[in-house]
Amino acid sequence: MLEYRFEKSGNPAVLRFSGELSIDKIVDLRNILLDSLNQTENILIDLEKAGPVDMAFLQLLCSAHRMALKSGKSLSVSSYPGPFMEAIKEAGLGSFTCKDAQWRSKCLWPDTLALPGENL
């Protein structure tokens, strides 16, 4: 079950997710992210209690991050817990996947991931 809490009293505002973050919940997740971005300039996403994640959520998060940057806003992730990091690795994501240097320098994915062909 997807649960979230949006705490917009601080700067950054914090969006806390718990439960499954997958394609089955993607419409709800999209709406939550859009609503949050419409309410504040700076969002920190907390995934510590998030359950399984899949590629659909990773793509959505990447898209929301780019949308925030294009709008002059900030969207970041507080940390990447084990299941989330595993999903990033399995998807082959990292700052090297950003084709445009402008985005690469602001990439949401951790720089600790190896380039394609390197051992993790």
Distance CA 51, CA 3 (A): 10
Question: pLDDT tens track of the chain, all 120 residues?
Answer: 889 999 999 899 999 999 999 999 999 999 999 999 999 999 999 999 988 899 999 999 989 998 999 999 999 999 888 888 888 888 877 656 666 666 666 778 766 554 445 444
CATH 3.40.50.2020 assigned to 3-104:
no
Domain boundaries, the chain: 3-104
* 3-class secondary-structure state, position 25: helix
What was the pLDDT predicted at 99? 62
pLDDT tens for 70-103 read 999 999 999 888 888 888 888 877 656 666 666 6
Q: Is 65 exposed, middle or buried (0-12, 13-18, 19+ CB in 10 A)?
A: buried
Amino acid identity at 79 = S
Distance CA 89, CA 11 (A): 30
Largest CA distance in the chain: 44
What was the pLDDT predicted at 96? 61
Helix boundaries (H) for the chain: 26-39, 55-70, 82-91, 101-104
